[in-house]
Amino acid sequence: MDSNLSQDIKKKPGKSQKPMFIGLLAFSCLILLAAAFLLWWVPYIGLTNIYHGLPLIYGGVLAGIVLVTIAVIVLLISTVVMEKEIFLSHKLRGAVVHIVFPLMVFLGRLLGIPKEKIQQSFVEINNRLVLSLPFKVNPERLLLLMPHCLQDNECKVRITGNVRNCERCGRCEIKELVELADENDVKLSIATGGTIARRIVVENKPELIIATACERDLTSGIQDSYPIPVYGILNKRPYGPCFNTQVDMSEVKKAMKLFLR
Q: What pLDDT, in 10s, does the model give residues 27-70?
A: 877 887 888 777 777 666 666 665 667 767 777 887 888 888 78
Output the pLDDT for position 17: 66
Taking the C-alpha atoms of residue 7 and residue 204, their distance in angstroms, rounded to an integer, is: 30
Task: Decide if pLDDT at 96 tops 90.
Answer: no
Q: Which strands form 208-213's sheet, in the order they lie side by side?
A: 187-191, 142-147, 208-213, 230-234
In tens, the pLDDT along 112-159 reads 989 999 999 899 888 988 887 878 999 999 999 999 999 999 999 999
Q: Do 74 and 95 contact (CB within 8 A), yes or no?
A: no
Average pLDDT over residues 207-224: 95
Nearest one of 254, 180, 257 to 9, comparing CA atoms? 254
Mean pLDDT of the chain: 84
Task: Decide if pLDDT at 5 tops 60.
Answer: no
Which residues make up the CATH 3.40.50 domain(s) of the chain?
A: 139-259
In tens, the pLDDT along 100-123 reads 888 888 888 888 989 999 999 899
Taking the C-alpha atoms of residue 212 and residue 99, their distance in angstroms, rounded to an integer, is: 23
Nearest one of 189, 239, 241 to 214, comparing CA atoms? 241
Lowest mean pLDDT among 97-106, 213-222, 227-236: 97-106
CATH of domain 139-259: 3.40.50
**The whole model's pTM is what?**
0.78
Output the pLDDT for position 235: 96
In tens, the pLDDT along 248-258 reads 999 999 999 99
Output the pLDDT for position 61: 80
Output the pLDDT for position 123: 92
